[in-house]
Amino acid sequence: MKNERLLGFVRSFSSFLAVDRSEPAILVEGARLLASLVEQDDWLQEEFARPDPTFYQQYLLYADPLERFSMVSFVWGPGQKTPVHDHMTWGLIGMLRGQELDTRFHLQADGSLKPGETRILAPGQVAYVSPATHDVHQVANYYSDQTSISIHVYGGNIGRISRHVFDPSTGTPKTFISGYGNDVVPNLWR
Ligand SMILES: [Fe+2]
């Protein structure tokens, strides 16, 4: 029963991609499907919801065999946050549990990156990133005393994509490939 919701998303999103691969349409339909996935917090298996005491975790939930998209659970321990980073592809962020702070960064004339607006994401809400509009941000757990979890969908195999973290004061990029925190993925037919 538990993974039926996840399977439902994978099926619906895969079916959608079979007929429409345009990013604006993907972001609208993907956000609608992701919102319906995260509106209930009763499906994520415990092993993909486990925080690490030191680092935030990125667990692969599903990767499309053609690498058209991937899904991960991001698990934030108390007070944990990402560096300023990009994605090099579109991404949808659906808040499942707790809350997180999503801060966009804007490139300045001197090459530095300046923090802009910060959005608080509450359970059920969906945000997005895109190289076409805004791809650089920093995400932090809103809470200093509890775990927060968001479900992300990306337009590629995000754990294998070469992308960047930035020193915001200089804008200097450093290449990284994130990988995934898990060696096994959920059994969607459990
Ligand atoms: Fe991100």
pLDDT of residue 2: 77
pLDDT of residue 49: 98
Q: If you measure from the C-alpha of residue 82 to the centroid of ligand 1, how many angstroms do you get, rounded to a whole number?
A: 8
The residue range of the domain holding 54 is 2-176
pLDDT band at 188 (very low <50, low <70, confident <90, very high): very high
Q: If you measure from the C-alpha of residue 119 to the centroid of ligand 1, how many angstroms do you get, rounded to a whole number?
A: 13
Domains in the chain: how many in total? 1
Q: If you measure from the C-alpha of residue 4 to the centroid of ligand 1, how many angstroms do you get, rounded to a whole number?
A: 26
Mean pLDDT for the stretch of residues 97-122 = 96
Mean pLDDT of the chain: 96
CB-based contacts of 61, cutoff 8 Å, min separation 6: 6, 48, 71, 72, 73, 151, 185, 186
Q: If you measure from the C-alpha of residue 112 to the centroid of ligand 1, how many angstroms do you get, rounded to a whole number?
A: 19
**70-76 and 100-107: which strand pairing?**
unpaired
Query: By CB neighbour count within 10 A (0-12 exposed, 13-18 middle, 19+ buried), where does 8 fall?
Result: middle
Q: If you measure from the C-alpha of residue 103 to the centroid of ligand 1, how many angstroms do you get, rounded to a whole number?
A: 10
Angstrom CA distances, 120 to 45, 57, 66, 123, 153, stand at 25, 20, 33, 10, 19
Query: By CB neighbour count within 10 A (0-12 exposed, 13-18 middle, 19+ buried), where does 6 fall?
Result: buried
The answer to whether residue 120 is domain-embedded is yes
Q: If you measure from the C-alpha of residue 87 to the centroid of ligand 1, how many angstroms do you get, rounded to a whole number?
A: 6
The answer to whether residue 68 is domain-embedded is yes
The answer to whether residue 190 is domain-embedded is no
pLDDT of residue 190: 85
pLDDT tens digits, 29-68: 999 999 999 999 999 999 999 999 999 999 999 999 999 9
Q: If you measure from the C-alpha of residue 169 to the centroid of ligand 1, how many angstroms do you get, rounded to a whole number?
A: 19
pLDDT tens digits, 153-184: 999 999 999 999 999 999 999 999 999 999 99
Q: If you measure from the C-alpha of residue 129 to the centroid of ligand 1, how many angstroms do you get, rounded to a whole number?
A: 7
Q: If you measure from the C-alpha of residue 13 to the centroid of ligand 1, how many angstroms do you get, rounded to a whole number?
A: 20
The answer to whether residue 50 is domain-embedded is yes
Angle at 151 between CA 33 and CA 156, to 5 degrees: 80
The answer to whether residue 129 is domain-embedded is yes
Strand order of the sheet with strand 172-176?
113-121, 100-107, 137-141, 84-85, 163-167, 172-176
Mean pLDDT for the stretch of residues 72-90 = 97
Give binding residues for Fe cation as ranges.
Answer: 85, 87, 137
Give binding residues as ranges.
Answer: 85, 87, 137
CA gap 175, 92 in Å, rounded: 22
The answer to whether residue 149 is domain-embedded is yes
- CATH code: domain of residue 156: 2.60.120.10
pLDDT of residue 1: 53
pLDDT of residue 183: 97
Q: If you measure from the C-alpha of residue 138 to the centroid of ligand 1, how many angstroms do you get, rounded to a whole number?
A: 7
The answer to whether residue 182 is domain-embedded is no
Per 3-state DSSP, what percentage of the chain is helix, strand, and coil (rounded to 5)?
20, 35, 45
Query: Which tokens belong to 58?
Result: 């990125």
pTM above 0.75, yes or no: yes
The answer to whether residue 189 is domain-embedded is no
